[in-house]
Structure 1
């Protein structure tokens, strides 16, 4: 496939995941899109006259040429929506970015990926939560994701770095700059253990509207979103809402009822948008991370099994697909991973399915 044409497709104004998928489905690959005739483009749902003209006149090619030179010069790793290495969890989101740019050495498809978000005005209470939470989660070898912003974001990256836990900073601008500039030193350290990820091309500045877009990557990239401290409005609550819309598990630490930077967390808990947690062991329990099952001793039952409704859904999907990773199974069933983990655990105990390395499941 042509990286040049992939970048060009991502440059087209108004082309999001849905339209990109429509174009790719219709023409087969990104190169054929730019070879298409006007009549062919008119048949693609969602392609209006303005976008059609941009494709036909190749106006985005000069931007693609500049970006291709930039990523080659600075050894940036591009991920196009159809690439096999594109983050699987994010690909399952309907509004996943067409193109991602990554600099670093982390695995964006790690077994356990956790986003930690919160207020830019972190208190000592919030920073202490980050410190103890990340320390207790270290044994699970997680990948920590946040936004490299002031406050809870920076505290998360800082604690992860101290413990040699990889962390990803998701940016609201291109990889030719760091915002805020005061965090450049930490960003450079993260390249050795983690990395920087963005959907924005070089030259893109951190405009206000880019931050909600950034937040959907933070939410979609992960199994779990944890809100440490948050006011009643702000990016952390937007990220939590996005995670809920992607059917991901959301957790929040409660705080005092009159504390401005606990109002958001308390609201998420009160409205059942987040599980209440006070320490890492709560996450381990809800997500099933604290449970180890010896599948070598499990044998299939000889008697007919009466499956519950949820178990039947899982069994039918695995019967058709063969074997699936936990995040793919979560997407196809529509179950949150915490619910899914407990259900498949029961099915393992009954000998209906087995788990393979990498949290992959298949029927016995």
Structure 2
């Protein structure tokens, strides 16, 4: 049995000890193990703990429950991420109330590339679906290493996950229950597909039901995991507005698509924009500009297509130019083995195709 994991899980099970107090305890005592080995008389002297919480900590029943969870984790090949582990999402770690321990299944690096949350109403309209599909399609064409995050719920969430899968973009579903189930069950097949390049993630132990309060807590992970959050559609009191508020609290970027003034499911988005709690976007290019993300993937793909269509001699020129920022024409002739007069003609053709650029002093570089 993994004793360290046993204590990590046990700490999350203590009544009254949330993520903030858990961090205080660990910082004060030096380790998670010390929380369970320290004498009760010493525990109650720790600021913010007191006698009631000290009694809860002294209750070793939580460790028995932790042992059962470890058996479940091992049986189902679940990965745990403790807040000091290198695998723990660094963006989430920046949030004061982030869980100290999370569980995931799938295949995803939580610390690589851009992470974007896409959320909204569960009663998404055709307008919202079109926005989502167009957004993800364009991002997939222009962005390297993008991951889409949502909550696997009906409506906007599942639309975002499906759009990601359709465009071969990794996607993460943050759920409000244990990993012994999929909720709603109608999304089981989608969830399985997500595991190939993405993940299902939770802070809850197996056996935890998707109760209403859990969804609000889940939203903080969605917001905390990401560089930015996009609200597709939302009524005036929609749950996704909570995610937007959390993202704002974490100093993350928030964006919203506008709708017509009389559109019920755009009232929340319009309100966010009007009160400067979200920036207005109308397409993926707006998001890319706001975030300062380079739209290079599509250009590289187009260059690769053009390269494949070149003659062997033209390809040799491109390969030679790719080795340095600029190359003298005489050096280029030596490296490619192409006669100077023929090389000049080929360079003109390649420049016309937009693949190379002529520089002063008989030098050339790749465009």
TM bracket (short chain):
0.7 to 0.9
> Alpha-carbon deviation of 1:98?
1.5
How far off its partner does 1:83 sit?
Answer: 1.5
Q: Does 1:192 align with 2:196?
A: yes
* Alignment partner, residue 88 of structure 1: 90
- The equivalent of 1:219 in structure 2 is 223
Q: Distance in 2 between matches of 1:180 and 1:128?
A: 23
TM-score normalized by the length of structure 2: 0.78
Matches within 5 A, 1:207-286: 207-286=211-290
Shift of 1:189: 0.8
User: Tell me, which stretches of 5 or more residues in structure 2 are unaligned?
Assistant: 297-323, 326-367
**Map of 1:362 onto structure 2:** none
Shift of 1:26: 1.3
Cα–Cα, structure 1 residues 185 and 291, in superposed 2: closer, same or farther, change >3 Å?
Answer: closer
SS in 2 for 1:115: strand
Quote the Cα distance in structure 1 between the aligned partners of 2:64 and 2:25. Answer: 21
Please show how residues 1-364 of structure 1 align to structure 2 within 5 Å: 2-138=4-140, 139-140=142-143, 141-290=145-294
Q: Secondary structure at the match of 1:168?
A: strand
Structure 2: how far apart are the matches of 1:50 and 1:134? Answer: 50
Moved over 4 A (4+): none
TM-score by length of 1: 0.79
Provide structure 1 residue ranges, at least 5 long, that are not aligned to the other structure.
298-364
Aligned equivalents of 2:206, 2:255: Cα separation in 1: 34
Displacement after TM superposition at 1:49 (Å): 2.5
Matched residues in 2 for 1:207 and 1:99: separation?
20
How far does the alpha carbon of each residue in 1:222-266 deviate from its partner, in whole angstroms, 9 at most, with x for none? 001000011111221000000000000000000011111000100
The structure that has the greater radius of gyration is 2
Distance in 1 (CA, whole Å) between partners of 2:208 and 2:85 is: 24
Q: Secondary structure at the match of 1:145?
A: strand
Q: SS in structure 2 opposite 1:290?
A: coil
Give the total of aligned pairs. 294
Q: Contact conserved, 1:54 with 1:60, CA < 8 A, in 2? A: no
CA RMSD of aligned residues (A): 1.5
Write the deviation string for residues 150-172 of structure 1: whole angstroms up to 9, x where unpaired: 00100000010111111000000
Look up the SS of the partner of 1:102 in the other structure: strand
CA distance in 2: counterparts of 1:39 and 1:83, whole angstroms? 30
SS for the counterpart of 1:97 is coil
Shift of 1:84: 2.0
Q: 1: distance between equivalents of 2:130 and 2:68?
A: 44
Measure, in 2, the Cα distance between the counterparts of 1:264 and 1:23: 39
Task: Say whether the 8 Å CA contact 1:161–1:193 is kept in structure 2.
Answer: no
CA distances 1:19-59 after superposition (whole Å, capped 9, x unpaired): 11111111111111100001210122221323211221312
* CA deviation profile, 1:113-154 (whole Å, cap 9, x unmatched): 000000000111101111010011113131100000000100
Cα displacement string for residues 192-229 of structure 1 (whole angstroms, at most 9, x for unaligned residues): 12110000000000111000000000000000100001
Deviation at residue 291 of structure 1 after TM alignment: 7.3
8 A Cα contact 1:252 1:268, kept in partner: yes
Residue 229 of structure 2 contacts residue 254 of structure 2 at CA under 8 Å; is this kept in 1?
yes
